[in-house]
Each structure stands twice: as structure tokens, then as C-alpha cells.
Amino acid sequence: MKFTEIVFSPTGGTQKVVSELTAEWGEPAAKVDLTDALTDFDAITLEKDAVAVIAVPSYGGRVPALAGERIAQIHGNQARCVLVCVYGNRAFEDTLIQLNDIAKYSGFKVIAAVSAIAEHSIMHQYASGRPDRQDKEELHNISKNILEKLCNNTDCIQTIHIPGNRPYKKAGVASLVPKANDKCTNCGLCAEVCPAQAISKEKIRTADGAKCISCMRCVSRCPHSARKVNSAMVSVVAMAIKKACSERKNNELYIG
């Protein structure tokens, strides 16, 4: 089987989950990086016998709009796919069902879906250090179940119960826009790696609030730890979701 990883992972947590899942399959995978603003996603067509893993983080219970737009441009060509939604131990709400709808729109056949946990990209105290050893064991078992279904090589795609609601919950507005402090050396790396192209090299220390999606790529990649979000706002949000994040959530497989 030919595998392709189609992944939106600005800070690396979603990619860690995908790597744990695909490690069990023993085959190298082609990579499609959904954070790359320069890629022509409309030029990507999968072979019909390929297997894709389409993975995104949950942003406020939804598929990140930018990721959804880019997935919708890819031509699935009836290739089988596994959906992966990664969240920071609060809730993924309508992310998986929305990702399912986008994948089907793009011509993929959804055979399984996974919800998984990784360290929160903003409030790092939630799901800190995850995926941990227990997560990896769960993900490896999930991976084996998916591989077993793939090896059955059937054209009969069973209906999968994927949690979520239609219409989807209202999308939130990105309010945590990182800015640079005096540690900034104007190296321009943040502008180069920003998935939304929200940072201009001419105004490197700020970001376009209308374009920024609060993905924290610039914060995580800055070699001088110069980019930050408003700590007071982060504290308010952290307190608001503390109760929901207090109980450990498990990785789940949805399969027909």
C-alpha cells in the first residue's frame, strides 16, 4: 500500500500523533504539509489505491479554516483515508465530523477516524508531555486495528459513526495574536514559516490580526523565544477551560 500523510501541524503535536499511528504500518509515507503556504494543493491528486492519513488539530472544536480550505483543494480520487483530530484534552466537538465532510468533498473514502491528545499549543499545562507512553500504546493498538481493515482490501465502505454535530458550532475568532519583544533579531524566520502569511518581513514584530489563526507556529519556531501572546489573556482562557481539561481524555478510534 502507498501511504500519504496530509497534515496540518503548526507546532508539531499533530505530527507526533500521526507518526505514532503510521509507525506500525512499516511503509514510508509521502508527505503533504498543509502549513506550507506556497504549495499548490490543487495540483495534488492521489492514486486510487493509495491510503491517506488526513490530520488536523482542533481549534475551538472546529477544523482550522486554513487547513480545511487546503484539504478541499486536494483531489482524493476515491483513495481510502483515515481522519485524525488532535486536541489538547478539552474537547474536539465538531472537528471530526467537519473533517469527514471536507474529506468526502475532496473525493476520499473515509474508512476510520481517530481522536487523539497532544499537549495544548497555547496552555502547555494541559496535556503536558502528551502523547506520553500510555498514549503511544493506545495509538499503536488503534493503528493495528486500522491496518487490519486496510488489509481486508474491501471496496465496501461501512458507515462510521463519527461524533459531532451539523451544523457545526460557530467558529471562534483568533484573539491571541503573538507579538515580538526586544529579543527579536529581525531574522525573518517567523514570516517564512507562518502558515497564514500573517507576518510581514517589513513589520516583523507584529502580525496581521485579520490573517493570524493563533496557531503558535511563530512562537514555537522562534530561535530566540522572542514571540509571545498576551499572558493575561492566556490566563483568563486557561481558567475558563480548567475544569474541562482536568480529567484525562483517551485516544479513540471510530471504525466500521
pLDDT in tens, 153-207: 655 566 789 999 999 999 877 678 999 999 999 999 999 999 999 999 999 999 9
Topology alike, domains 2-167+248-255 and 179-229: no
Percentage of the chain lying above the pLDDT 90 cut: 88
Instruction: Provide the residue ranges of all domains of the chain, joining segments of one domain with +.
Output: 2-167+248-255, 179-229
Tens of pLDDT, residues 7-60: 999 999 999 999 999 998 888 899 999 999 999 999 999 999 999 999 999 999
Sign (positive/negative) of CA torsion 214, 218, 220, 226?
negative
CATH architecture of 179-229: 2-Layer Sandwich (3.30)
Residue 234 pLDDT exceeds 60: yes
The pLDDT of residue 156 is 54
- Rounded distance between C-alpha atoms, residue 166 and residue 8, angstroms: 23
Fold of 2-167+248-255: Rossmann fold (3.40.50)
